[in-house]
Amino acid sequence: MNNVTKFNNLKIKIFADGADLKSIEALNIQAYIKGFTTNPTLMRKSGITDYKKFALEVLKIVKNKPISFEIFSDDINEMEQQAMEIFSWGTNVNVKIPITNTKGLSTVGLIKKLSSRKVACNVTAIFTLNQLNEVIKILALETPAILSIFAGRIADLGIDPVNIMSDAVKLAKIKPKSNILWASTREVLNIFQAEQAGCQIITVPYDILKKLSNVGRDLKKSSLETVSMFYKDAKASGFTIKTKK
């Protein structure tokens, strides 16, 4: 991609978010991609039916960058078993644990237990600072953790997530090995917003990563290209409007 070297100057780490093996392989060789995330929904969209087989195939490609795989049980005890199994797959694996199960039961107790066992958790689906604070308090001081706040989905609710993310970064400072991740990225601008908010990580889907080559382009030139696109599409569609002479 052109212009991606600009992203090497950012403090924030860009993680690629997806479940397509070819894309993962292509992105893994890019220096500006610092890690990977995925989830069961993305895997289903990619037609994956064997979870562990897919994960092990990914780990053959991604050997030196962190990657997150998510548990999918709704039972707390089974969640623990899945987490330990997933963590055993590789030294670069982060285990994604949702902040609650589908019944709204908190997983903070499970996260505390895993963190005390030095399991690197990626706590996902966080929406509120109260949820975040509960997790931060119980993390083991020496165990790395990723705290994924769904900034994009917060914005979808009509709430500006920037202040929430800034406050989250401040709260997490008491656990220096924890990292705030800007999740559910919607546009390239979010990368710069996350950087300004102090987030350590942003996870970016493949379709947005493709747009990075546009960063820094001249606005006037972009305006002309947009006008040209409208014109060509109108011509190609055969549109006509009868006008009075």
Residues serving a catalytic function are 96
As a whole number, mean pLDDT of residues 35-58 equals 96
CA nearest to 181, candidates 162, 160, 165, 157: 165
Question: CA-to-CA distance for 222 and 219, rounded, in angstroms?
Answer: 5
- Superfamily of domain 4-216 in the CATH hierarchy: Aldolase class I (3.20.20.70)
**Residue with more model confidence, 15 or 1:** 15
Residue among 67, 131, 143 nearest 99 (CA):
131
- Percent of the chain at pLDDT > 90 equals 91
Residue 167 reports pLDDT greater than 50:
yes
Please name the amino acid found at residue 142: E
How many residues are recorded in the chain?
A: 245
Banded model confidence at residue 212, pLDDT cuts 50, 70, 90: confident
pTM to 2 decimal places: 0.92
pLDDT of residue 215 exceeding 80: yes
Q: Is the pLDDT of residue 3 over 60?
A: no
Q: Mention every residue, 6+ apart, whose C-beta is less than 8 A from residue 63.
A: 92
Whether 1 has a pLDDT exceeding 50, the answer reads no
Record the tokens describing residue 7, joined without a space. 């992203």
**Domain-by-domain residue ranges, the chain?**
4-216
